[in-house]
């Protein structure tokens, strides 16, 4: 697949990922000269009508949306053996790998990502599209921190009321809404639940429900109440806890009404906590997950027995904690009088001032939060200076990486990203370039050129020049030699030269003169001389009558490789612009004397003036030419430039 040119247009560069239904490649659109992502239906599904319909649906659904938070679809291409989408190429990473790397995100960062995801989903909902498969794998984050939602793999139009998923439930179980897990009707509210799961995971570093199998996870979505976010992440602001837990309600009507309402709540929460981002980061391992196909029946049967036991255990635990936290205490009512009210006011005021003092203390003693500067492509020590201006320290990541464009010692990536707000005590981890990658050049001797092109491309090397030579030893299009030599260590940008075989040197034959010869004889002459008849082009001629050869691809006497094809022009008749008489004149000239002579015949007729014959002859030869002309004609014969005869015809 790599190196293949699809539809004469998309050159596959490398594989980027794989999902349950499709493989994703990075490719170059050579027509528009831009990078694209190609999402190709897995070969085993191309024959599956149901899958193809889903795949096509993805294209149509997303193509309707233009939004900065939705990955654009440019094209859908169907051919006999494959079906694929051409999509916007996103330079960046997916949220899954971000969470994996960082464990958990800061509250503001998590809310910002959720806000952008919800914005993309909101516009989809406005277009009657339910995403149905929101999960961190499908949330891409560009290097500029732009969030893009992709893979509307099983999105369906809300307007088609039958939304029940039939045989298979797609998507990753961790992010299933209860209704999705049950195979019930799914709708826009299902996406809200899934966004909630993603938000829960970003904030706490863990998904609300874990299990040994997708089935057990799906069951928990249906049956179990999730642990409150603040239980697993105590420092979460209450407002955010409530927001997330509301999205995770089992009943759709208990969740936020719409994506736009969810967004409003997220934006409000960001506003309220923006100044005090004070949450610890803790790392938790995360199990990666590919989209799996589950049968509805699997969930009902297989999982149940095993899960019941586990659930019992889990439930008993949670119910204990529930009690200690939530058992309401009975309060005795008492009567209030004025004095009591005044006393209360005083107490409240006093405590308010204490609270203010605590708040004051907290703000001014706590480590300041600063914005991370952009350090990418800066030299390390320069970056240290820039970071120092914000009071931040740099830390080199353990491994330096190869980079084509960024010089050795310069920074390739940084964590956290520019613009993010972090505590000053936290180090900025930077990855430094080792410069361009050095690769060992393979031996291409006696390998086909095409293969070498692919290998070079994969290694990041480019082919500078291909020169061709005849060779008895190497087959046509096989490589004879290369520069640099095999095994030499080359930088990734090095250009490689190859010498390629043209096959054995062909036998050269002499092109016969065919002008004025009739078609059948010309074909005979071509074959007798070891050549082949090529394209025949019919047209009117100023010089040759119908059926005669009026031009030939190679001049007579030229050396041509054996078996070459020769294109011929065949006259469909003389050009006759009026109703002129057509003439046919035979001219014979004996070459006498002792020197070579150039004989030239010039024709002047209604089609203009033209040299009809010009050739050098040795003594003893005989010139015999038939000249066709239209209307009143003058024929002039020259010997070595000197007019020796002039003939008027039809005057």
* Contact criterion met (CB below 8 Å) for 556 and 511: yes
- Told to check if 126 binds other proteins by CB under 8 A, we report no
Taking the C-alpha atoms of residue 220 and residue 213, their distance in angstroms, rounded to an integer, is 11
- Told to check if 457 binds other proteins by CB under 8 A, we report no
Instruction: Pick the closer one to other proteins by CB: 335 or 577.
Output: 577
Instruction: Pick the closer one to other proteins by CB: 237 or 534.
Output: 534
- Told to check if 518 binds other proteins by CB under 8 A, we report no
| Site track for other proteins across 557-586, x = CB under 8 A | ---------------xx---x---------
Taking the C-alpha atoms of residue 341 and residue 346, their distance in angstroms, rounded to an integer, is 9
Instruction: Pick the closer one to other proteins by CB: 256 or 541.
Output: 541
* Contact criterion met (CB below 8 Å) for 494 and 459: no
Instruction: Pick the closer one to other proteins by CB: 321 or 537.
Output: 537
Q: Alpha carbon of 413 to those of 250, 460, 513, 582: distances in Å?
A: 41, 21, 70, 83
Give the ranges where 286-419 is alpha helix by DSSP (H).
296-300, 302-326, 338-365, 380-389
Candidates 291-299, 431-439, 539-547, 599-607: pick the segment binding other proteins (CB under 8 A): 539-547
Instruction: Pick the closer one to other proteins by CB: 313 or 577.
Output: 577
Instruction: Pick the closer one to other proteins by CB: 351 or 563.
Output: 563
Instruction: Pick the closer one to other proteins by CB: 368 or 539.
Output: 539
Return the residue matching tokens 């469909």: 572
In this structure, the strands spanning 462-469 and 495-501 are parallel
Q: Which conformational region is residue 205 in: left (phi greater than 0), alpha (psi within -120 to 50 degrees), or beta?
A: left
Contacts of 535 (CB under 8 A, 6+ apart): 565, 567, 568
Cα angle for residues 253, 254, 260 (degrees, 5° grid): 80
- Told to check if 503 binds other proteins by CB under 8 A, we report no
Candidates 173-181, 231-239, 438-446, 534-542: pick the segment binding other proteins (CB under 8 A): 534-542
Taking the C-alpha atoms of residue 494 and residue 483, their distance in angstroms, rounded to an integer, is 10
Candidates 60-68, 159-167, 327-335, 537-545: pick the segment binding other proteins (CB under 8 A): 537-545
Candidates 29-37, 366-374, 387-395, 535-543: pick the segment binding other proteins (CB under 8 A): 535-543
Instruction: Pick the closer one to other proteins by CB: 208 or 569.
Output: 569
> Residue 609 Cβ, how far from other proteins at the closest point, in Å?
22
Instruction: Pick the closer one to other proteins by CB: 80 or 91.
Output: 80
- Told to check if 535 binds other proteins by CB under 8 A, we report yes
Q: Alpha carbon of 265 to those of 110, 136, 181, 235, 446: distances in Å?
A: 14, 21, 26, 19, 66
> Residue 301 Cβ, how far from other proteins at the closest point, in Å?
51
Candidates 20-28, 156-164, 501-509, 536-544: pick the segment binding other proteins (CB under 8 A): 536-544
Instruction: Pick the closer one to other proteins by CB: 235 or 537.
Output: 537
DSSP letters of 550-565?
Answer: EEESS-TT-EEETT-E
CB atoms within 10 A of CB 162: 7
Q: Alpha carbon of 571 to those of 13, 515, 574, 585: distances in Å?
A: 51, 10, 7, 18
* Contact criterion met (CB below 8 Å) for 431 and 410: no
- Told to check if 536 binds other proteins by CB under 8 A, we report yes
Considering only 446, 537, 614, 646, the residue that binds other proteins (CB under 8 A) is: 537
Q: Long-range contacts for 390-394 (Cβ within 8 Å, ≥24 apart)?
A: 390/424, 391/424, 392/422, 392/424, 392/426, 392/427, 392/428, 393/427, 393/428, 394/427, 394/428, 394/429, 394/430
Considering only 74, 402, 468, 538, the residue that binds other proteins (CB under 8 A) is: 538
Write out the catalytic residue numbers: 133
In this structure, the strands spanning 5-6 and 147-149 are unpaired
Instruction: Pick the closer one to other proteins by CB: 303 or 631.
Output: 631
> Residue 519 Cβ, how far from other proteins at the closest point, in Å?
9
Considering only 540, 545, 582, 625, the residue that binds other proteins (CB under 8 A) is: 540
Taking the C-alpha atoms of residue 391 and residue 527, their distance in angstroms, rounded to an integer, is 86
SS3 label, residue 229: helix
Return the residue matching tokens 């929460």: 269
Considering only CA atoms, which of 138, 267, 265 is closest in space to residue 191? Answer: 138
| Residues binding other proteins: number (CB under 8 A) | 11
> Residue 531 Cβ, how far from other proteins at the closest point, in Å?
14
Instruction: Pick the closer one to other proteins by CB: 297 or 537.
Output: 537
- Told to check if 539 binds other proteins by CB under 8 A, we report yes
**Residue 631: half-sphere exposure toward Cβ, Cα within 13 Å:** 13
- Told to check if 545 binds other proteins by CB under 8 A, we report no
Taking the C-alpha atoms of residue 70 and residue 150, their distance in angstroms, rounded to an integer, is 6
Instruction: Read off the tokens for 144.
Output: 């500029």
* Contact criterion met (CB below 8 Å) for 418 and 375: yes
Taking the C-alpha atoms of residue 96 and residue 175, their distance in angstroms, rounded to an integer, is 12
Instruction: Read off the tokens for 85.
Output: 């989408």
Candidates 300-308, 383-391, 500-508, 532-540: pick the segment binding other proteins (CB under 8 A): 532-540
**H or E element that contains 60:** helix 49-63
Residues lying near other proteins in the complex (CB under 8 A) are found at 533, 535-540, 546, 572-573, 577
């Amino acid at each position: 697949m790599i190196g293949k040119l699809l539809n004469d247009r998309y050159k596959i560069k490398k594989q980027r990922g794989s999902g349950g239904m499709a493989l994703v490649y990075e490719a170059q659109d050579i027509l528009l000269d831009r990078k694209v992502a190609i999402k190709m239906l897995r070969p085993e599904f191309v024959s599956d009508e149901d899958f193809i319909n889903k795949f096509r649906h993805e294209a149509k659904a997303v193509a309707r949306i233009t939004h900065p938070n939705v990955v654009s679809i440019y094209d859908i291409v169907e051919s006999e053996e494959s079906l694929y989408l051409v999509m916007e190429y996103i330079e960046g990473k997916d949220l899954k790998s971000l969470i994996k790397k960082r464990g958990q995100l800061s509250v503001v960062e998590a809310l910002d990502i959720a806000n952008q995801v919800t914005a993309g989903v909101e516009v989809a909902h406005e277009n009657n599209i339910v995403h149905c498969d929101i999960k961190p794998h499908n949330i891409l984050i560009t290097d500029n921190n732009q969030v893009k939602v992709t893979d509307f793999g099983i999105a369906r139009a809300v307007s088609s009321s039958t939304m029940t998923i039939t045989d298979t439930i797609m998507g990753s179980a961790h992010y299933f809404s209860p209704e999705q897990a049950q195979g019930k009707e799914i709708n826009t509210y299902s996406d809200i639940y899934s966004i909630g799961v993603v938000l829960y995971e970003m904030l706490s570093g863990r998904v609300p429900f874990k299990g040994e199998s997708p089935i057990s996870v799906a069951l928990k979505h249906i049956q179990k109440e999730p642990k409150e976010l603040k239980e697993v992440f105590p420092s979460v602001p209450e407002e955010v806890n409530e927001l997330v837990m509301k999205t995770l309600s089992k009943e759709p009507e208990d969740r936020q009404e719409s994506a736009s309402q969810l967004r409003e709540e997220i934006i409000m929460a960001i506003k309220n906590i923006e100044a005090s981002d004070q949450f610890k980061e803790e790392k938790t391992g995360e199990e990666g997950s590919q989209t799996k196909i589950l049968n509805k029946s699997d969930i009902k049967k297989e999982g149940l027995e095993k899960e019941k036991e586990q659930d019992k255990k889990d439930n008993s635990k949670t119910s204990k904690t529930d009690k200690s936290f939530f058992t309401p205490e009975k309060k005795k009512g008492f009567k209030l009088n004025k004095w009591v009210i005044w006393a209360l006011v005083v107490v409240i005021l006093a405590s308010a001032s204490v609270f203010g003092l605590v708040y004051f203390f907290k703000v001014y003693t706590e480590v300041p939060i600063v914005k991370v500067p952009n350090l990418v492509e800066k030299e390390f020590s320069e970056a240290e200076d820039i970071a120092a201006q914000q009071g931040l320290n740099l830390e080199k990541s353990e491994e330096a990486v190869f980079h084509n464009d960024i010089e050795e010692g310069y920074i390739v990536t940084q964590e956290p990203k520019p613009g993010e707000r972090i505590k000053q005590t936290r180090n900025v981890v930077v990855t430094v370039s080792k410069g361009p990658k050095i690769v060992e050049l393979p031996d291409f001797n006696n390998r086909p050129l095409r293969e070498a092109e692919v290998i070079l491309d994969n290694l990041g090397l480019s082919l500078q020049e291909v020169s061709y030579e005849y060779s008895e030893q190497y087959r046509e299009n096989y490589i004879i030699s290369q520069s640099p030599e095999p095994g030499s260590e080359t930088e990734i940008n090095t250009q490689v030269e190859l010498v390629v075989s043209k096959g054995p040197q062909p036998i050269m034959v002499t092109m016969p003169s065919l002008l004025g010869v009739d078609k059948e004889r010309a074909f005979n002459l071509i074959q007798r001389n070891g050549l082949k008849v090529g394209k025949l082009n019919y047209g009117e001629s100023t010089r040759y009558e119908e059926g005669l050869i009026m031009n030939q691809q190679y001049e007579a006497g030229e050396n041509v490789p054996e078996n070459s094809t020769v294109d011929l022009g065949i006259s469909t008749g003389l050009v006759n612009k009026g109703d002129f008489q057509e003439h046919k004149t035979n001219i014979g000239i004996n070459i006498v004397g002792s020197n070579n002579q150039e004989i030239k015949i010039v024709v002047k007729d209604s089609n203009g003036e033209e040299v009809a014959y010009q050739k050098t002859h040795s003594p003893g030869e005989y010139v015999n030419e038939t000249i066709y002309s239209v209307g009143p004609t003058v024929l002039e014969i020259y010997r070595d430039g000197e007019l020796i005869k002039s003939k008027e015809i039809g005057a």
